[in-house]
């Protein structure tokens, strides 16, 4: 349970070929595409705890050189990198020929001017190009902008996520089954609920509106609204003893974003996060709850299962 809550403060995994760091805190250095930076005052105004790096495509940088990026508060090698993702750009605007170096730091000044992640092609001469943030001590430049959350939000979000977990209809019996004592359960549950209330969280009307809890204040999956079994949080699911009061589907439970992630919107906040079925989360991903429900209704209508 602790581990599940802890992991909500981390970003998702990234493989070695990506520019992103693999599973690090959501308050890490943030990578921001140049287009997002110039279009979004909120993104520019934000104070990022561990800084940010703006990634500007080579075409944009070299062909609009006269348009001064410093008017946006940016400087190559300080808080901005020319970022190569395409081979044609690499050939046309080769950074090494321009005296550019790969960076040596994630924080300003970056100590270099460019990074590259260019896929290989079927042609024998077109090998993959990975330059910048590739060494074991400095792997990945930062996190995705939409994953960012500051320390304060990380803390309040964790408290709320545990407080709502204790609203699962079978939380007590499943935690007993997992070896926690009745006293420990009572103490921990009361402490987490108090902590949430003291932070001004656990507003039941808002939680119901956000589809995190139902009207009976039970933890539900934000998409299908089925009450969630606490067993889905445990790494080793307890064996059914035949004495359980609740007969819920036991399935893997994941962190669930109520509003889908989008650039320029900082969505890791207490009332935007609940717990949901892994499969419901997959179905919902990117589209969002409302659009997914409408799509499902259309599917059922076409199948003549709904008028
Ligand atoms: Zn569900």
**For the purposes of burial, counting CB atoms within 10 Å of the CB of 301, is it exposed (0-12), middle (13-18) or buried (19 or more)?**
exposed
Predicted local distance difference test score (pLDDT) of residue 236: 54
pLDDT mean over 142-171: 94
Q: Give the residue carrying structure tokens 């105004």.
A: 45
Pairing relationship of beta strands 143-144 and 253-257 according to DSSP bridges: unpaired
Question: pLDDT tens-digit profile of 89-113?
Answer: 999 999 999 999 999 999 999 999 9
Backbone angles phi, psi at 278, to 5 degrees: -55, -45
Compute the distance from residue 163 Cα to the ligand 1 centre, in Å: 19
Compute the distance from residue 295 Cα to the ligand 1 centre, in Å: 16
B/e letters for 148-181, b = 16+ CB within 10 Å, e = fewer, are bbbeebbebbbbbbbbbbbbbbbbbbbbebbeee
- CA distance linking residue 198 with residue 176, whole number of Å: 27
Give residues whose Cβ lies within 5 Å of ion ligand 1. 221, 223-224, 277, 280
The angle at the Cα of 200, spanning 196 to 206, to the nearest 5 degrees, equals: 90
Cβ(22)–Cβ(249) below 8 Å? no
Write out the H or E segment, with its range, that includes residue 256: strand 253-257
Domain boundaries, the chain: 10-146, 151-302
Predicted local distance difference test score (pLDDT) of residue 244: 56
Compute the distance from residue 224 Cα to the ligand 1 centre, in Å: 4
Task: Give me the DSSP letters along 252-274.
Answer: -EEEEESSPP-TT----SGGGEE
Backbone angles phi, psi at 129, to 5 degrees: -120, 115
Q: Give the residue carrying structure tokens 């290989």.
A: 120
With a cut of 80, say whether residue 67 has pLDDT above it.
Answer: no
Which alpha helices (DSSP H) does 26-167 contain, by range? 34-39, 41-45, 58-63, 87-92, 151-165
Q: Is 4 left (phi over 0), alpha (psi -120 to 50) or beta?
A: alpha
Confidence of residue 126 (pLDDT cuts 50, 70, 90): confident
Compute the distance from residue 40 Cα to the ligand 1 centre, in Å: 34
Confidence of residue 240 (pLDDT cuts 50, 70, 90): low
Compute the distance from residue 231 Cα to the ligand 1 centre, in Å: 14
Compute the distance from residue 169 Cα to the ligand 1 centre, in Å: 15
State both tokens at 269.
């906040």
pLDDT mean over 225-249: 70
The angle at the Cα of 131, spanning 127 to 133, to the nearest 5 degrees, equals: 140
Cβ(222)–Cβ(235) below 8 Å? no
Best CA proximity match to 230, nearest among 212, 250, 211: 250
With a cut of 70, say whether residue 66 has pLDDT above it.
Answer: no
With a cut of 70, say whether residue 33 has pLDDT above it.
Answer: yes
Confidence of residue 306 (pLDDT cuts 50, 70, 90): confident
């Amino acid at each position: 349970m602790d581990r599940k809550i802890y992991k909500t403060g981390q970003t998702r995994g990234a493989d070695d070929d990506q520019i992103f760091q693999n599973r690090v805190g959501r308050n890490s250095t943030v990578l921001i595409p140049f287009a997002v930076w110039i279009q979004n005052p909120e993104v520019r105004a934000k104070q990022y705890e561990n800084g940010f790096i703006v990634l500007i495509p080579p075409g944009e940088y070299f062909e609009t050189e006269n348009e001064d990026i410093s008017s946006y508060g940016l400087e190559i090698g300080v808080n901005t990198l020319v970022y190569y993702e395409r081979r044609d750009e690499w050939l046309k605007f080769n950074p090494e020929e321009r005296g550019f170096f790969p960076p040596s730091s994630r924080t300003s000044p970056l100590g270099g001017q460019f990074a590259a992640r260019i896929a290989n092609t079927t042609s024998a001469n077109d090998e993959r190009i990975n330059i910048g943030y590739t060494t074991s001590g400095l792997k990945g430049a930062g996190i995705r902008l939409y994953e960012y959350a500051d320390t304060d939000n990380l803390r309040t979000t964790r408290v709320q996520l545990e407080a709502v977990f204790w609203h699962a209809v079978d939380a007590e019996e499943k935690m007993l089954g997992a070896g926690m004592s009745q006293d420990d359960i009572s103490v921990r549950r009361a402490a987490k609920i108090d902590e949430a209330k003291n932070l001004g969280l656990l507003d039941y009307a808002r939680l119901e509106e956000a589809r995190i809890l139902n009207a009976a204040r039970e933890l539900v999956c934000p998409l299908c609204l089925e009450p969630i079994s606490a067993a889905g949080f445990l790494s080793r699911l307890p064996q059914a003893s035949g004495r359980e009061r609740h007969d819920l589907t036991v399935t893997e439970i994941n962190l669930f974003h109520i509003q889908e992630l989008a650039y320029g919107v900082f969505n890791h906040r207490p009332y935007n996060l609940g717990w949901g079925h892994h499969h419901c989360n997959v179905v919902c991903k990117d589209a969002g709850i409302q659009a997914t429900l409408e799509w499902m209704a259309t599917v059922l209508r076409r199948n003549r299962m709904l008028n």
